[in-house]
Structure 1
Amino acid sequence: MTELEQRVIATLLSKPELVDSVGINADWFEDTRLKNVLEVLQSLEVNERTTLNVYSELDKYEGQLSYRDLEDMRESVFSTASITSDVKALHKLAAKKQLDEAVVLYQMSPKKEELNRLSSAIENLKKTDEEDDKGYLDEAMDDLSYRMYNDMPVGIKSFPKLDDILAGGLYGSMLLTIGARPSVGKTAYGVNLAYQIITNDPEVQVDFFTLEMNKLEMLNRFVARHTNISSQRLKRPAKMLQQYEREAVAKAIEWYRERKLRVYDKVLTLSGILSIIRENAAKSKPNKYIAIIDYIGLVKVENSRAQRWEQIGQISRELKIMANEYNVPIVVLAQLNRDVNANQQPQLSNLRDSGSIEQDSNVVAFLHRPYKDDPKVVQLTIQKNREGALGTIDYYFEGRYMTFIEPNNEE
């Protein structure tokens, strides 16, 4: 069973009254056993939807879960706040599958009947993007009531000082924009952010979209961060590395294999990026997914004749909508104009020519080198933070090794 399907059924077992309000369809499920559970829940009255009654009714179906499985799922739920977005994500996945099947059938038999089926599938997928918000606060109230007496993680952990400023970590629905001039180290900071996240929690999936480097170049940077071996030397490892360094690189490769880091170097369009985030975020548990995009200025908007600043605005808006819809953080790197001096602290106004990035972002931060006499100090300045404080963090940046170090916080 998929994690998303299981999470939806677990939530409905825990809060059976939600079955009548979330607008869910059993045909959206791929796992027959979970589909059967939903059909049983829908057939029973609210006060009859106990685990025992559900298990008893499942005798009428082929393929069922054990009583222990049902009870374990029900007890696994700590919050119902994500049920609406989970159901919507389930609907989208089902609609996408229906569209994929319709495309195959039309390719095999391009007749009017199959064309109608294809058109219907496209319209069905479009409908899943429509808002279905009745304004009720019940789920959010339940979630807040629970968290008053049960300490829950606020977000995904990264750098300690950054987490403090963000009031606990990179939280769901956050759009974090990090701007910098060329050559200040924004890609390296993105690498370090991803590295900190998967070091703190190997279960977090990081989708890293690189629009100006290939996978090998990115892997070299990640390995350099892990091993303190220069990424330049990793370009010709057979010639440049000693045996002990090769062994260190081999260990680093295995370390990354055990993490959920994915790097995309051929996904250059907004629609492609959104599709991957949608698919992977829908499968993820709370605080177990983040996307990093390097960088927004290179993202293409297909079939658009709008001016570039308008396209950037569309990109930032749709990324923010995606972060909200799936309750995941998305980090966007942005390149500032070269007329910002290397040692000059960038301002929010430096983003205003880039559409609605400032408006759409929950948090806006800038990287710059504040000290002319010490180019290895790179400062991150938080200049907008809807949910927390503003502030600055000084990092020691060793470019050869792709390493950002927070003073007094690194081992």
Structure 2
Amino acid sequence: MNEQMIVANLLNDTKQIQFLNVNSVWFESSVMSLIVQAVINLNGEVQSTADISEQIKEDSNKDISQEELETLKNTKEYEKYSFSAMVPHLHKNYVQKQLNYYMAKYQQEGRKKYLNVVNSLTEEMNDISVSADDGLLSSSIDEFEKELYSEKSTSLKTFHEVNMMIGGGFRPGQLITIGARSGVGKTLVSLNFMMDMLERDNSLRADFFSLEMNKLEIVDRIISRKESINSLKMVDYTNLSHEEKGKSLAGYKDLMNNYDIGLFGEEYSTLGMIKRKIKERAVQGKYIAFIDYVGLVNVEGVNAGGEGGERIAINIITRELKLLASELKIPIFILSQLNRGLEYRQDKTPGLQDLKASGSLEQDSSMVFFISKDSEEDNLAYLDVAKNRVGRRGRLKFYMNPAFMEFKPYQT
């Protein structure tokens, strides 16, 4: 981040400091920090760069001449580095570095005071808005009119029954959580959601991140569903007949040639790697990403195994992915395990209180789906819409057959 260019922008309009929450410590350069602090102390009321030079001398007994400030002020193309637009990014970078430092201190010494600082910094990070809107209706009228009269839907369609409940489909900017107990079928359901959306619109681009499987293991499950081959036989290809091998290869080639799918295995284990790949591949309004599952994602600098570490990590993950979904205007799906306490309740219906480790899964998600199985009928599964900011909540019945990776609306 070019701090000199950002400060040059400020010097050409010092009064913008009056409308911003800015702290000079967010700047790595000590010189830039001194200049910004001087403008803050002057409340942006600057007649000439001489005022700033004098204020710096008064604040710190350091000398930055008027000539140096004029040279900085006249930097070419400073307009491209809007001070007001870059402030949230500077703030975020500063808080992230502080967070990494205090998390490392806590991991080394295990002192509760450091954990309290980490919690406070995590909350501060969650409150930072990188792309703040001015809030005025006049600034959005063009966007509103364009979307109002557009013939193209911005919703990504899936199963009809789900579309009816969630307002027509999944929309840009949404973070969607799919939760279930271990072994119930989170991966099966998410792969079916992905393939169903791609089959309805193969111009979509889809990425699936699995932290439990490698690339070919994910392919096996998709081909099992696509070609109606028993998934257990795909564990060892020697189990397949000659005909099934032919169908499997044809299915692979069809996926490769006719769908834009990225499958990323266990090597994509950190939040940073996943975010970078999503940013690289995302196409506004034409992209979906699935992360299987949130509890296995590592956050750089955070030890999820420590006291409160898992909660801190998931807080960061859900907030960062929600901001990413909003920034790129895409839906992102995250899978989550549920607490074991569900198994010991008489009523086995999952609820938001069963989401594991962190309230941020509920807080940051636009929608939360739960998957559960009927206790009496083997292939009957329930998809509960437990949270929905844009539509109804309720229960849908689905036919689930893990052997063939099937998941489709239940026909009575």
Which of the five TM-score ranges fits, normalised by the shorter chain?
0.5 to 0.7
Post-superposition CA distance 1:91-149 (Å, at most 9, x none): x9xxxxxxxxxxxxxxxxxxxxxxxxxxxxxxxxxxxx943533344464323323444
- Does the C-alpha gap of structure 1 residues 137 and 273 become closer, same or farther in structure 2, counting only changes over 3 Å? farther
Is the Cα contact below 8 Å between 1:184 and 1:368 reproduced in 2?
A: yes
Correspondence 1:396 to 2:399: yes
Report the CA distance between 1:355 and its aligned residue.
3.8
Q: Distance in 1 between matches of 2:236 and 2:395?
A: 38
Is the partner of 1:272 in helix, strand or coil?
A: helix
Find the counterpart in structure 1 of residue 243 from structure 2: 244
Distance in 2, matches of 1:142 and 1:211, equals: 42
Q: Percent identity over the alignment?
A: 33
Q: Which position in structure 2 is the counterpart of 1:170?
A: 170
What's the CA shift for 1:169? 1.1
Partner of 1:314: 316
Counterpart of 1:166, as a letter, is I
2:278 matched to 1:277? yes
Aligned-partner SS, 1:364: strand
Report the structure number with the largest CA radius of gyration.
2
Instruction: Please give the secondary structure, in 1, of the residue aligned with 2:209.
Output: strand
Would the aligned equivalents of 1:182 and 1:338 in 2 still touch at CA under 8 Å?
no
Q: Distance in 2 between matches of 1:307 and 1:264?
A: 25
Cα deviation per residue 1:25-49 (whole Å; 9 max; x = unaligned)?
Answer: xxxxxxxxxxxxxxxxxxxxxxxxx
- After TM superposition, list the pairs within 5 Å mapping 1:108-187 onto structure 2: 130-131=130-131, 133-138=133-138, 140-187=140-187
| 1:361 aligned residue | 365
C-alpha distance in structure 2 between counterparts of 1:354 and 1:188, whole Å: 24
- Aligned residue for 2:264? 264
Moved more, 215-224 or 399-408: 399-408
Kindly indicate whether residue 215 of structure 2 is the aligned counterpart of residue 211 of structure 1.
no
Are the aligned partners of 2:206 and 2:262 in contact in 1 as well (CA < 8 Å)? yes
User: What 5-or-longer segments of structure 2 have no aligned partner?
Assistant: 1-84, 90-128
Shift of 1:304: 2.0
Q: Distance in 2 between matches of 1:231 and 1:140?
A: 50
CA gap of 1:161–1:267, structure 2 versus 1, over 3 A, is same
Which one-letter code corresponds to 1:367 in the other structure? I
Provide the residue aligned with 1:304 in structure 2: 302
Contact 1:311-1:355 within 8 A present in 2 as well: no
The change in CA–CA distance for 1:138 and 1:260 in structure 2 (over 3 A counts) is farther
SS of equivalent residue, structure 1 residue 262: strand
Tell me how far apart the structure 1 counterparts of residues 252 and 185 of structure 2 sit (CA, whole Å). Answer: 23
Amino acid at match of 1:196: D
How far has the Cα of 1:378 moved from its partner? 1.1
Aligned pairs (5 A) from 1:182-201: 182-201=182-201
Distance 1:303 1:146 in 2: 43
Q: Structure 2 vs 1, CA of residues 310 and 240 (structure 1 numbering), >3 Å: closer, same or farther?
A: same
2:379 counterpart letter in structure 1:
K
Q: 2:254 aligned with 1:255, yes or no?
A: yes
1:365–1:381 contact (8 Å) kept in structure 2: yes
Q: What amino acid is aligned across from residue 320 of structure 2 in structure 1?
A: E
Q: Tell me, in whole angstroms, the C-alpha distance in 2 between the residues paired with 1:394 and 1:318.
A: 32
In the TM superposition, 1:78-89 aligns within 5 A as: none
The alpha-carbon deviation at position 291 of structure 1 amounts to: 0.7
TM-score w.r.t. the length of structure 2 is 0.64
Q: Deviations over 1:272-307 (max 9, x none)?
A: 1111112222xx1x4210110000000001112562
3-state SS of paired residue (2:340):
coil
How many pairs align? 279
Query: Would you say the 8 A contact 1:352–1:358 is kept in 2?
Result: no
CA distance, structure 1, for counterparts of residue 397 and residue 140 of structure 2: 36
The 3 A distance-change label for structure 1 pair 210 and 315 is same
Q: Output the CA distance in 2 between the equivalents of 1:219 and 1:405.
A: 19
